Amino acid sequence: MRGPHNIWRLIRTGATLERAGAMNVVLDAFEATPTLRFVARALGLPFKFLGYRGDPTMPPATRALTALGPAYIKFGQVLSTRPDVVGDELAVQLRVLQDKLPPFSTEQAKAAVEHELGLPLEQIFSEFSPSVAAASIAQVHRATLVDTGEDVAVKVLRPGIEKAFRKDIDAFYLAARLVELFSPGSRRLRPMDVIEHFDGVVRGELDLRLESAAASEFAANTDKDEGFQLPAIKWNHSSRRVMTLEWADGVSMGDNAAIDAAGHDRVALSNRVLQLFLSHALRDGYFHADMHQGNLKVAPNGNIIAYDFGIMGHIDEYTRRVYAEILFGFIRRDYKRVARVHFEAGYVPADKDVDEFARALRAVGEPIFGMDATHISMARLLAYLFEVTERFGMETRTELILLQRTMVVVEGVARSLNPNMNIWEVASPIVTDYISKSIGPRAVVTDLANTAMVLARFGPRLPGLVEDALMRQTNPPQVDRRPRKRWFVLAGFVGAMTGIGALLLIDALF
């Protein structure tokens, strides 16, 4: 339950931030008001001795979050995708946040597998290795299936992780309310929405059936993509707390020496990883939102292998078209069109001046396009774009931020393979193809066909709906203005619920 009892958790959090020297870093990143700074310091400074010490070799923010435990580590990872909220400097710190924790014992993992799958381990796996990777929520073991002899990866949730996350997320909600209460300017960044987004991400990762379903959907979307493969889910050996999938053999995408030694073409790989991401985002509206080197391998045949499907991004068709038009506008340096797209989508308030916004966008784009093509950076473009949209009152949109942040990560992966890549040349064919299919004459025909299908589906109900509407117009219902007992009962009920709601709000805030 969210409420005052979570203040103790916030005190422990503040104390750890103070002890690790991260309090000012965090407050500066959020551009905290004097009032919010006072509240934060009051929750941390007097209790500094209660804070966890952490690893002094780490930067302050990562030191504090790793000391506070798995929920805070995961929250830091999610915030690293939100430079609009925490600023570029802190986002960079959080991106290098270690995603490794001491593993829990192999015996605990075996017991969890037996409990979840309902069979003795020996009847499922002929071999079951110690942990090969341990993260904030789960750890992975390599195993061999008894029935087929196939090597698989077995992902097992940490014991008690659900309860630990629920407690910390409740404290995060209280912290977000305090931020909104004492820092009104932060409401544009919607702290409560950030926590709700984090809550949704974590809930998905705490049920491995959902991750398995995400992997299955992603595989169905991408099964015809050349040079890309996903490990298959072993549904018979998966459950809520255990996920079994094919073992992915290959070299890490982050190991250029191993990639070269295996004879792979890094230039081709860099182009492919960027184009694959854009295809998944624009074509399917469903993309891997944690596509860093640690979740990518290069198979012996040169295919790119992706795994770890805990964080997936989804954007609807309309948002995809908006995003593609923004990218296409920048590629063609048509800033007036980019500005109009922002206004048409409602991203920028209608009372702002579209021409002024277009000039601000030109100030973003022209310095970048004045550079050598190999130095044009999507990360720099988006950083500038955030500054402009903030100045014009654009509210944070979680679905776009996740997409844009993943774009920056993928660009980083591509450039690590080929520092000389021209991101616009590589992206242009994918974006142009999507634009031609989704915004041109072909798209109009498709939209009309989809509309006709919807009308056909509801066709049998249309005559009745029209008749009801006409009857209401010709015979409007007579309003009985005489007071009746039920209205008094209803008013009393509404008053009581309002009072209860006010009490709950006060409890949540204070």
Active-site residue list: 290
Distance CA 14, CA 47 (A): 8
Give the rounded distance of the alpha carbon of 246 from its chain centre: 25
Q: Which two tokens stand for residue 111?
A: 């017991």
Q: Which two tokens stand for residue 291?
A: 């596509």
Distance CA 285, CA 276 (A): 12
Tokens 């009892």 identify what position?
5
Q: Which two tokens stand for residue 147?
A: 């029935």
DSSP assignment of 317-330: HHHHHHHHHHHHHH
What region does 483 belong to: left with phi over 0, alpha with psi -120 to 50, or beta?
beta
What region does 190 belong to: left with phi over 0, alpha with psi -120 to 50, or beta?
left
Per-residue b/e over 89-103, b at no fewer than 16 CB within 10 Å? ebbebbbebebebeb
Distance CA 177, CA 171 (A): 10
Tokens 């949209």 identify what position?
389
Q: Answer whether 379's CB lies under 8 Å from 412's CB.
A: yes
Among candidate residues 212, 206, 218, the one with its CA nearest the CA of residue 233:
212
Distances in whole angstroms, Cα of residue 202 to Cα of each of 205, 287, 312: 5, 17, 12
Q: Which two tokens stand for residue 493?
A: 């009920």
Q: Which two tokens stand for residue 257?
A: 């020496």
